[in-house]
């Protein structure tokens, strides 16, 4: 069995996992939670630096205790999130990954974080060739595989949907991360307030919507109604573009990925859209939607098996690493 150790730490979540072909052997994580405001890149990086030793030690100890077949000598590669993400966080985790690869005398594997979200979803759900809606804090993209790459068919023109929800939540006094709290309030909303719906071709935008939602709160509308209207508007935009991508590509499977994918209303809209067009909707369990180490280890495994490892001297982090820069050698079609 090939075992790959994966390290994730692009933003708020530091996590490490050991993955083999047919299962996640073990994983450990440690989350950074800002005291005030949103994610501060330097503070998050300091969190990762101070937690790395514990997380990796617990990973090795936990895996050895849980799985008699596993020993540290089985690790054949160390994968890490090379980007996209926050520079200080990426650099901290990359340094740890290089040190581990050198110590274990195994290859280093640089992984694109967005593609890791996609591949763990395909693996866990068993979907072959889906159109992907990837919605997280910083990123919001619609992607599909075509001739050797994941092509970005549509994306946000400004902030990610998670970031939009978090910013709005902060404005109304909720703690980070705000997405789940907005969902909770939205479930009690009853009245739709008109908010800007911005879809331009295959792209979308959330920053005007966020400002308008803040103004709607200032104008005295109930928080429940504004949260409800925020979700209805933003998720309808995402569903519209995902549906158009499916129609253009002629694909009849759809995969939801990224932390915002945990939102039940978003899932419901996408499921309905897929049902209406005779397509299948897939969403992995929430621990594999949000940032996690298993997805990095798993994509690391796929890349390792197709020979895509990284010399240490080429392992600089890539804060703006786009998924379509990666040659996908592990898929046959
Ligand atoms: P990720 O970067 O993929 O880990 O996703 C983190 C983002 O997901 C944050 O912006 C959270 O606010 C958001 N999020 C998590 N759960 C939910 C939810 N139930 N509804 C909406 N957003 C969510
Ligand atoms: Mg992510």
Q: Which tens digits make up the pLDDT trace of 57-83? A: 999 999 999 998 899 999 999 999 999
Looking at residue 216, what is its pLDDT?
Answer: 98
Domain membership flag for residue 124: no
What is the token pair recorded at 291?
């940032």
What is the token pair recorded at 326?
């990666």
Tell me, what CATH number does 317's domain have?
Answer: 3.30.420.40
Q: What are phi and psi of 195, to 5 degrees?
A: -130, 155
What whole-number distance in Å separates Cα of residue 144 and Cα of residue 328?
12
User: 37: pLDDT confidence band, cut at 50, 70 and 90?
Assistant: confident
Domain membership flag for residue 78: yes
Q: Is the pLDDT of residue 193 over 90?
A: yes
The whole-number average pLDDT for the span 27-48 is 94
Domain membership flag for residue 14: yes
Going from the Cα of 312 to the center of ligand 2, the distance in angstroms, rounded, reads 24
110 and 162 in a single domain? The answer is no
Domain membership flag for residue 330: no
Q: Is the pLDDT of residue 173 over 80?
A: yes
37 and 153 in a single domain? The answer is no
Mean of the per-residue pLDDT values of the chain? 97
140 and 83 in a single domain? The answer is no
DSSP state of 29: E
Looking at residue 239, what is its pLDDT?
Answer: 98
The per-residue DSSP string of 50-117 comes to HHHHHHHHHHHHHHHHH-TT--GGGEEEEEEEEESS-HHHHHHHHHHHHHHHHHHT--EEEEEHHHHH
Structural domain including 224 reads 129-285
What whole-number distance in Å separates Cα of residue 70 and Cα of residue 78?
16
Looking at residue 35, what is its pLDDT?
Answer: 86
Domain membership flag for residue 37: yes
203 and 281 in a single domain? The answer is yes
Q: Evaluate whether 259 touches 162 at the Cβ level (below 8 Å).
A: yes
Most informative mutation of 290, 291, 294 for ligand 1 (most atoms within 8 A of CB): 290
Looking at residue 204, what is its pLDDT?
Answer: 98
Going from the Cα of 245 to the center of ligand 2, the distance in angstroms, rounded, reads 21
Looking at residue 332, what is its pLDDT?
Answer: 83
202 and 215 in a single domain? The answer is yes
pLDDT digits (tens, 9 = 90+) for 114-139: 999 999 999 999 999 999 999 999 99
pLDDT digits (tens, 9 = 90+) for 8-32: 999 999 999 999 999 999 999 999 9
181 and 194 in a single domain? The answer is yes
Looking at residue 36, what is its pLDDT?
Answer: 87
Residue 51 Cβ contacting ligand 1 at under 6 Å = no
306 and 276 in a single domain? The answer is no
What whole-number distance in Å separates Cα of residue 27 and Cα of residue 15?
7
Residue 259 Cβ contacting ligand 1 at under 6 Å = yes
Domain membership flag for residue 331: no
The residues near 260 (Cβ < 8 Å, ≥ 6 apart) are: 135, 136, 137, 140, 161, 162, 165, 179, 266
Most informative mutation of 231, 260, 292 for ligand 1 (most atoms within 8 A of CB): 260
Determine the straight-line distance between the first and last CA of the chain, rounded to whole angstroms: 25
112 and 136 in a single domain? The answer is no
Distance, C-alpha 246 to centroid of its chain: 21
**Which among 132, 158, 137, 118 has a CA at the least distance from the CA of 326?**
118
User: 261: pLDDT confidence band, cut at 50, 70 and 90?
Assistant: very high
Q: Is the pLDDT of residue 242 over 80?
A: yes
Residue 44 Cβ contacting ligand 1 at under 6 Å = no
Core vs surface per residue 254-264: b (16+ CB within 10 A) or e: bbbbbbbbbbe
User: 257: pLDDT confidence band, cut at 50, 70 and 90?
Assistant: very high
152 and 274 in a single domain? The answer is yes
217 and 268 in a single domain? The answer is yes
pLDDT digits (tens, 9 = 90+) for 97-120: 999 999 999 999 999 999 999 999
How many structural domains are present in the chain? 2
pLDDT digits (tens, 9 = 90+) for 275-312: 999 999 999 999 999 999 999 999 999 999 999 999 99
Q: Is the pLDDT of residue 333 over 80?
A: no
Looking at residue 1, what is its pLDDT?
Answer: 87
The per-residue DSSP string of 75-92 comes to EEEEEEEEESS-HHHHHH
32 and 134 in a single domain? The answer is no
195 and 212 in a single domain? The answer is yes
Helix (H, G, I), strand (E, B) or coil at 257: strand
Going from the Cα of 324 to the center of ligand 1, the distance in angstroms, rounded, reads 23
Domain membership flag for residue 107: yes
**Percentage of residues in the chain having pLDDT higher than 70:** 100
Domain membership flag for residue 332: no
């Amino acid at each position: 069995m090939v075992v790959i150790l994966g390290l994730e730490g692009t933003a708020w979540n530091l996590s490490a996992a050991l993955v083999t072909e047919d299962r996640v052997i073990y994983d450990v994580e440690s989350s950074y939670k800002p005291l005030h405001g949103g994610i501060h890149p330097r503070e998050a990086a300091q969190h990762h630096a101070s937690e790395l030793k514990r997380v990796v030690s617990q990973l090795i100890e936990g895996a050895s205790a849980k799985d008699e077949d596993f020993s540290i000598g089985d690790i054949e590669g160390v994968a890490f999130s090379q980007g996209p993400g926050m520079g200080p966080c990426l650099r901290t985790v990359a340094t740890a990954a290089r040190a581990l690869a050198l110590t274990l005398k195994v290859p280093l594997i640089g992984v694109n974080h967005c593609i890791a979200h996609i591949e763990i979803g395909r693996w866990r759900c068993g979907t072959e060739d889906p159109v992907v809606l990837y919605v997280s804090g910083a990123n919001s993209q619609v992607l599909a595989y075509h001739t050797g790459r994941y092509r970005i068919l549509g994306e946000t023109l400004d902030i990610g949907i998670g970031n939009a929800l978090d910013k709005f939540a902060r404005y109304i006094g909720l703690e980070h991360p705000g997405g789940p709290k907005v969902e909770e309030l939205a479930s009690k909303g009853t009245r739709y307030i008109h908010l800007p719906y911005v879809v331009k071709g295959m792209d979308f935008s959330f920053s005007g919507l966020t400002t308008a939602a803040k103004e709607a709160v200032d104008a005295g509308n109930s928080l429940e109604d504004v949260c409800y209207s925020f979700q209805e508007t933003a998720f309808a935009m995402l569903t519209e573009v995902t549906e158009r991508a499916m129609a253009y590509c002629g694909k009849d499977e759809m995969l939801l990925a990224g932390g915002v994918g945990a939102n039940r209303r978003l899932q419901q809209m996408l499921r309905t859209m897929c049902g209406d067009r005779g397509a299948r909707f897939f969403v992995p369990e929430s621990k594999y939607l949000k940032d996690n180490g298993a997805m990095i280890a798993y994509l690391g495994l796929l890349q390792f098996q197709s020979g895509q490892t990284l010399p240490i001297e080429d392992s600089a982090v890539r804060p703006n690493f786009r998924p379509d820069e990666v040659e996908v050698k592990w898929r046959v079609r």
